Structure 1
Amino acid sequence: MQNAKSKCSLTEQENGFFDDSIEKRAYIWYEENWQHDDYEHLHQRAQLTFVKEGYQYFHIDDKIYLVPQNHVIWIPSLQKHKITSEAETVKLMVSLFKHIPENDFYGKVHVFLAPSVLKEMLLYASKWNKLTEENNEQEVFMNALLTSLPNFCDENLSLQIPIPSDKRLLEVCEFISESYHENHSIEELAEKANLSTRSLQRIFKQETGISVKKYIQLIKILKSVELIDSSQFTLSEIAYKVGYKSLSAFTSSYLAVMNVKPKIIKKVTF
């Protein structure tokens, strides 16, 4: 991202819409230190983002999607999105596709851990970083990657943070996010929303699709992802900081959300 008017060689035309004059079907943009614009935008090309280091939050419709290290997110064409991150360094590769296969998969947002085969394919494709001229090998290679993408997808729905529309629930969600290191009772949260505990649980599940208890767990684990990325704390310290009384309890909860056990990952380069 160079500035507010240019992004990945796409040029802003108006109201956050970015277009490009590049003819090639797939275009690749890799950044060692990604800079965020923090405003909603969209573009004609569909987007596959691979986070090599750090993490990103994608704000799309009524959800916030966490894309941690070694994960990818697929964003359909003309889908409005905003990107934020508190990570000190974000290394990622964006693949922008002009023509998409006719398959329901490509019309929805997907977030999943990049399996080793996909990761290696993306790493190989980085050699075409920012090249705009036609390249036969790249066209064949990226078309194979795009066609195989649905088979690589093992979706992790836990990486989606639902955003309720009810103002009372929004206040509860904000309170949970701001005080994630504490363990609030349902009664305390219900009082915050000026609702009975039964009403809070019913309306929350109705609006978000998950329980209040699950939402609290989700926020704690997503916050732990940020702390792990900082490389400043041990796993035991992180467990305590997000409100768990033991490392084993934190590990069990992390595994339930992320499908892998937590570990401190050393920073690497492409």
Structure 2
Amino acid sequence: MQNANSKCNLIEQENGFLNDSIEKEAYIWYEENWLHDDHEHQHQRAQLTFVQEGYQYFHINDKIYLVPQNHVIWVPSSQKHKITSEAETVKLMVSLFKNVPKDDFYSTTHVFPVPSVLKEMILYATKWNKETEKNIEQEAFMNALLISLPNFCNENVALQIPLPSDKRLLEVCHFINLNFHQNESIEELAEIANLSTRSLQRIFKKETGISVKKYVQLIKILKSIELIDSHQFTLSEIAYQVGYKSLSAFTSSYQAIMNAKPRISKKISF
């Protein structure tokens, strides 16, 4: 992994705070094979990341956000975050903005699929990849993209993985994450937490905002996205690997989370 303080022309000053000396309002950083580290950081610029290929996890506060292929994530200014991924190849485009409009949208994290118009705008902007000199056309174009974002946002909150603070629940989550291919009963999960089934369900819902059953479903689908990205298995094989008894059951569950049917896309080549 490249050192985090060299990413996107940002230089680490202290305690994970990254800054730059670029005067332009917005600049672009595109890489076809993005490398990762486990380095939490923050920067004054707001960030829009488009995942063209692969997938990316953003760890922010008490949530992990999955950003699959053809999705974007908006990260507000000065928000601490770190990124991870097990994808074989990750192609990302990061847009960094010095100033943003005074609107509630820009002060919170959002993950949403990229509609065709926004995708074409983002790909067009790669013509300015890593350019640091001022450019009138780029400034006007990136400002138009920026102020249009709230209109494009159709947020998928299912891509947010909640993390409880209760250690007993963390043990349950850890077990589910490692054994997503199994279908443990609520009684077995309650035993891991040393809680009654009723207490487990009540405390889990209170801390995470979702039920244990929903969390299990979410983890299965997130793991299936990783397997789909590997291009090594058919959808039927993936369905069984993440614990579904049939392709139809997996497809139904996937569609409920992702608002689209699962499919194995062709790898992007240039």
Q: 1:115-264 to 2 correspondence within 5 Å? A: 115-264=115-264
> Aligned partner of 1:159: which letter?
L
- Please list the CA deviations of residues 210-263 of structure 1 after superposition, one character each: whole Å capped at 9, or x if unmatched: 000000000000000000000000000000000000000000000000000000
In 2, Cα distance between equivalents of 1:232 and 1:6: 33
Q: Name segments (4+ residues, structure 1) moved above 6 Å.
A: none
In 2, Cα distance between equivalents of 1:73 and 1:231: 24
In 1, Cα distance between equivalents of 2:80 and 2:3: 19
TM-score (norm 1): 0.99
State the match for 1:94 in structure 2.
94
Which structure 1 segments of 5+ residues have no match? Answer: none
In 2, Cα distance between equivalents of 1:251 and 1:45: 39
In 1, Cα distance between equivalents of 2:185 and 2:115: 38
Q: What's the CA shift for 1:38?
A: 1.4
In 1, Cα distance between equivalents of 2:205 and 2:21: 45
State the match for 2:73 in structure 1.
73
Kept in 1, the 8 Å contact 2:4–2:39? The answer is: no
SS in 2 for 1:47: strand
- Please list the CA deviations of residues 155-180 of structure 1 after superposition, one character each: whole Å capped at 9, or x if unmatched: 00000000000000000000000000
SS in 1 for 2:4: coil
SS in 1 for 2:102: coil
In 1, Cα distance between equivalents of 2:268 and 2:7: 25
State the match for 1:21 in structure 2.
21
Q: What's the CA shift for 1:98?
A: 0.3
Q: What's the CA shift for 1:7?
A: 1.2
- Please list the CA deviations of residues 87-114 of structure 1 after superposition, one character each: whole Å capped at 9, or x if unmatched: 0100010000001000000000000001
State the match for 1:12 in structure 2.
12
Q: Is the counterpart of residue 55 in structure 1 residue 72 in structure 2?
A: no
Identity %: 80
- Please list the CA deviations of residues 20-57 of structure 1 after superposition, one character each: whole Å capped at 9, or x if unmatched: 00000011000010011211000000000000000000
> Aligned partner of 1:224: which letter?
S
Alignment root-mean-square deviation, CA: 0.8
State the match for 2:109 in structure 1.
109
TM-score (norm 2): 0.99
> Aligned partner of 2:55: which letter?
Y
